[in-house]
Amino acid sequence: MNLYTTAHLIKKMPGFYSHTQKVNGVNLHGVIGGNGAPLVLLPGWPQTWWSFRHIMPVLAEKYTVIAVDLRGMGDSDKPPGGYSKKDMAGDIKELVIALGYDRVHIAGHDIGANVAYAFAANYPERTGKLILLDTPPPDENMYRLPMLPVGTPVYPWWVAFNQVKDLPEQLLEGRFGLLLDHLLDKLLINPEAIGDFDRAVYMQHYNRKENIRASNAWYQAFGQDISDQKTYPKIANPTLGIASSSNFGILDDFLSHYFLSYQMMEVEGTGHFLHEEKPVQIAKAISDFLE
């Protein structure tokens, strides 16, 4: 028995169910539960909807929580194209319509934050409140990221590596656990926050060539994302940025340029995967902001 499939994971999430919806020619998978105003949760690399497992039950007490595997992620389809964040936001818009909602709150982490931003920029009338977790969307500042160590223990070399075509999937197929463990151990303050079981959940999805190819396509679309971003108006929707201490400054700087108004919250004692290291604090912050 494969203990890491969504069918098995759902048994650990009382009140939630798995849902697949065809949008823009792609089968998009999500996990849904709760009651109240709809709240869409978008995960990042190298994870799936499971990254929100701790905060979903808490948020579902007041909201209808919809945790989505993005195009190219988890149990969603992995087509050859459509990985600009504007296109991926279009997937979410069609999903929202198919589920019968006119307007949703939306929160995203990492790549999911990029898509959530694109959703608010392109569909402000369908966006209630926006929450970005630890990651600013790409703009011209991406080209100034240090890809070599410059006196800091962590530097985002994978942002460049994932933009290389064809090679990563050849190197990592069947060996993705090496990269996954390296990233999590470096980017978590408490590596035990994402334990062996959770790592196995993520690895089963990213260990295959087509999954690596699709997730890397999110990064390979960054050039298009930056071009698209230049055309967006400043975001007027109420927005909250939640960031670890190491990423607080870069997220705050992005919001200061591209949002009319926003709030920032710093979460101390956590790394990049803050909703898994500090789920109680993150769930409360999101709930308080939405209220």
Q: According to the model, what pLDDT value does residue 149 have?
A: 82
What is the crossing angle of helices 222-229 and 111-122, to 10°? 30
The chain-wide mean pLDDT, for the chain, equals 96
Q: According to the model, what pLDDT value does residue 148 have?
A: 84
H-type helices in the chain, by residue range?
Answer: 6-9, 56-59, 85-98, 111-122, 157-161, 167-172, 176-187, 196-206, 209-220, 222-229, 248-258, 274-277, 279-290
pLDDT of 167 higher than 90:
yes
Rg (CA), the chain: 17
Q: According to the model, what pLDDT value does residue 60 have?
A: 98
Q: According to the model, what pLDDT value does residue 155 have?
A: 87
Distances (CA, A) of 43 to 164, 236, 291: 22, 23, 22
Q: 107 is written with which tokens?
A: 């929160």
- 240-247 mean pLDDT: 96
Give the rounded percent of residues in the chain with a pLDDT score beyond 90: 94
| Cα angle 64-107-180, degrees, rounded to a multiple of 5 | 110
> What is the set of domains in the chain, with CATH numbers?
6-290 (3.40.50.1820)
- 158-169 mean pLDDT: 96
Work out the burial of residue 100: count CB atoms within 10 Å of its CB; fewer than 13 is exposed, 13-18 middle, 19 or more buried: exposed
Q: According to the model, what pLDDT value does residue 145 have?
A: 86
pLDDT in tens, 127-147: 999 999 999 999 998 998 888
pLDDT of 151 higher than 80:
no
pLDDT in tens, 67-121: 999 999 999 999 999 999 999 999 999 999 999 999 999 999 999 999 999 999 9
96 CB-near residues (< 8 Å, 6+ apart): 38, 40, 104, 126
